Structure 1
């Protein structure tokens, strides 16, 4: 016969040590103590002890997950991985997760919406990039698609335009073609579609007047000229410079004017 002969509280914790037949048998969380009515003099059989141990593991897993959630929102996948990595069995982890869901501490739909808003606000990410973020968090496909449906075309255009305008401001010494390539690369990398990217490129104003073209080619043209001057001479040098500057987006008349000025200054 196994009889509880003593119950003591652990220091600074809501856990209790249970003594059976005058010997320490196991410890439990306060909630388990109450649930099973563990009191001095209670008789336990082996089945009850096993059940108590299992419930206490769930309680430990629940508390660990709750602590993990206290720092920031998490997905079910993240919580399960955390508990498994901590050494809890899969059945215990799943039971703890179900308890978290019942109490409203864990909800993948709410988490997905919050992640979507965060990625839009902090990184101005497009839907394809956010989709990858959600997949990494183990979000169910149906929840994922439902969440991304709330990301409207108009909102994508607004955020993509902000990225494009910032790129223009950061590259005052680049040609329109170079800036467009930077915008295209950035928007695609951020997860925007070709449709959104092309729409933004059509909207953005990158016109340059003659003075601006002159300033641009004075900087980039000199670099290209110096790069090839040690390798080529005369017409071959001019051809190489012309090809390089044309690829950078300079108009032919601007390039030819630059080359004429170089000839005059030699």
Structure 2
């Protein structure tokens, strides 16, 4: 199989483009170009072509990983799942994950902290945040530290109750507000304390 053309990338660090006989196109990194000593007009035997295609797929998989990680934060577990779904072998995927961690594109510890802050800012409690940790495949070794860095939930609960409760003596209103807070990930003890605080403040002002 002959290389009809070998084009460098428009941007440094991006894959090179190979056009083979039959119009088949491969995209490979600069390291692959060097390792395989590629040049326009080179003839490739079957073994070399097979190795080149594997290298091209690995380069494409790495580019997909970069695209995923620059678009939004995610855990190593989520990235692993996505790359495996795209056809990457376990070995290829682990190599890409290790590479992304080495260059700082992937950091489960910082991701856990950012995720916890994000959901607390949206008004959610610790149990909802834990659900998100689990759903987004954040390793459990980072949960405790991320949760410990959060602010106390009292202000969040108080603001929620101020917006929802008009009369703390109305049992239906109280139950509806309490159930909503529990669904948001707060414990019953936190919710009960919040309702008591609301009742005390309400009594002082009415």
Equivalent residue, structure 2, for 1:156? 153
Q: Are the aligned partners of 1:62 and 1:100 in contact in 2 as well (CA < 8 Å)?
A: no
1:181 to 175, 180, 201: 175
Equivalent residue, structure 2, for 1:68? 68
Equivalent residue, structure 2, for 1:93? 93
- Ranges in structure 2 where 5+ consecutive residues have no aligned partner: none
Task: Name the SS for the 1:70 alignment partner.
Answer: helix
Return the offset for 1:88. 2.2
Return the offset for 1:79. 1.3
Task: Name the SS for the 1:204 alignment partner.
Answer: helix
Task: Name the SS for the 2:71 alignment partner.
Answer: coil
TM-score of the pair, normalised by structure 2: 0.79
Supply the RMSD in Å over aligned alpha carbons.
3.2
Find the aligned partners of 2:106 and 2:88 in 1 and give their Cα distance: 18
Task: Name the SS for the 2:18 alignment partner.
Answer: strand
Return the offset for 1:161. 1.1
Pairing 1:25-64 to 2, within 5 Å after superposition: 27-36=26-35, 38-40=37-39, 50-64=50-64
Larger RCO (alpha carbons 8 Å, 6+ apart): 2
Equivalent residue, structure 2, for 1:125? 124
Find the aligned partners of 1:37 and 1:82 in 2 and give their Cα distance: 29
Equivalent residue, structure 1, for 2:7? 9
Task: Name the SS for the 1:182 alignment partner.
Answer: helix
| Cα gap change, 1:91 to 1:33, in 2 (>3 Å) | closer
Equivalent residue, structure 2, for 1:137? 136
Return the offset for 1:157. 1.0
- 1:144-181, CA deviations, whole angstroms, 9 ceiling, x for partnerless residues? 222112224xx21111111111112xxx4785322321
Q: Are the aligned partners of 2:182 and 2:188 in contact in 1 as well (CA < 8 Å)?
A: yes
Task: Name the SS for the 1:8 alignment partner.
Answer: strand
TM-score of the pair, normalised by structure 1: 0.63
| Cα gap change, 1:201 to 1:50, in 2 (>3 Å) | same
Q: Are the aligned partners of 1:127 and 1:151 in contact in 2 as well (CA < 8 Å)?
A: no
